[in-house]
């Protein structure tokens, strides 16, 4: 698309995302406006065409993702591309409550890997002096950065993606199925395929809530969330049997219902079982 089309697409995507997008300066002289518009207008895809994704393309995209920034060049992130049908089926049963995942053409699992760092300490004869929470945190963040980079790269080629954090619901079983050793852990799965339909753009909290200058501020946050709620409607309300029907059901009600019930309460024990100290 030309610059004016790129600018229009970017402005349209940002307006769909943020109620206060008018505060943003968009300039037709900026380069790569079409790329910015693609990123701003992306959406998670849960309906895919049946055609597979070329394994060579997945490998290429993984290489691009693994080119992303990594804390102190430690490179504490790995990607497992799941191709075995039996393994896919076993992993699928762990997330069977998300029926859409059954038809995913390709499944990747992004892992944090602090094991390699410890290995090179052994090989080089140096003590590992940072056996505390930061060791886990750095690896988890590295994996998240790689996942986000894969998403951007894949969607630039017209693929659709959707992260699957539900794999952490049974992190121990996922770890066993993938043969993950100590100090290697699953962060999230990623569904990849050719979209069967356009993904919707989900509105985000206004920039007044999430974009800060110099100091963190919560001025007007409750009012902003209340105003934001009507922009997020859900086809199904969570846990109606416990909380009832809410005619004004929106984002804040959905998220508080979600976290009003225990979720992944055993993940800390799993991480400690992987050999991490979290103090």
DSSP for 132-168, please give it. SHHHHHHHHHHHHHHHHHHHHHHHHTT-EEEEEGGGG
Q: What is the pLDDT of residue 103?
A: 86
pTM of the full predicted structure? 0.96
| pLDDT (0 to 100) of residue 39 | 96
pLDDT at 104: 96
What percent of the chain clears pLDDT 70, i.e. is strictly above it?
100
The answer to whether the CB of 169 falls within 8 A of the CB of 94 is yes
pLDDT digits (tens, 9 = 90+) for 33-83: 999 999 999 999 999 999 999 999 999 999 999 999 999 999 999 999 999
Given a contact cutoff of 8 angstroms between Cβ atoms, the answer to whether 77 and 145 are in contact is yes
Query: Looking at residue 2, what is its pLDDT?
Result: 81
> Contact 128/196 with Cβ under 8 angstroms?
no
Q: What is the pLDDT of residue 260?
A: 97
Which stretches in the chain have pLDDT values below 50?
none
Domains parsed from the chain with CATH numbers? 3-40 (no CATH), 55-199+265-273 (3.40.109.10), 207-258 (no CATH)
Residue from 192, 151, 187 nearest 53 by CA: 192
């Amino acid at each position: 698309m030309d610059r004016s089309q790129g600018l229009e697409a970017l402005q349209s995507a940002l307006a769909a995302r943020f109620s206060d997008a008018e505060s943003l300066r968009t300039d037709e002289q900026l380069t790569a406006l079409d790329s910015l518009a693609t990123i701003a207008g992306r959406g998670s895809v849960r309906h895919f065409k049946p055609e597979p994704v070329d394994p060579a393309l997945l490998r290429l995209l993984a290489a691009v993702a693994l080119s992303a920034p990594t804390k102190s060049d430690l490179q504490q992130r790995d990607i497992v591309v799941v191709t075995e049908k039996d393994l896919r089926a076993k992993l699928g049963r762990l997330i069977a409550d998300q029926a859409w995942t059954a038809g995913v053409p390709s499944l990747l699992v992004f892992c944090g890997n602090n094991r390699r760092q410890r290995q090179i300490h052994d090989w080089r004869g140096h003590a590992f002096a940072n056996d505390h929470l930061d060791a886990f945190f750095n690896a988890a963040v590295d994996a998240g950065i790689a996942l986000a980079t894969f998403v951007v790269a894949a969607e630039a080629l017209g693929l659709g993606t959707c992260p699957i954090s539900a794999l952490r619901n049974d992190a121990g079983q996922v770890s066993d199925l993938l043969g993950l050793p100590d100090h290697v852990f699953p962060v999230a799965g990623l569904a990849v395929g050719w979209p069967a339909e356009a993904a919707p753009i989900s509105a985000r909290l206004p920039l007044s809530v999430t974009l800060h200058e110099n100091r963190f501020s919560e001025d007007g946050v409750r009012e902003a969330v209340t105003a934001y709620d009507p922009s997020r409607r859900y086809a199904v309300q969570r846990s109606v049997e416990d909380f009832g029907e809410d005619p004004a059901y929106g984002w804040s009600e959905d998220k508080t219902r979600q976290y009003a019930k225990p979720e992944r309460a055993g993940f800390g024990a799993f991480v400690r079982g992987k050999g991490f100290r979290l103090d």
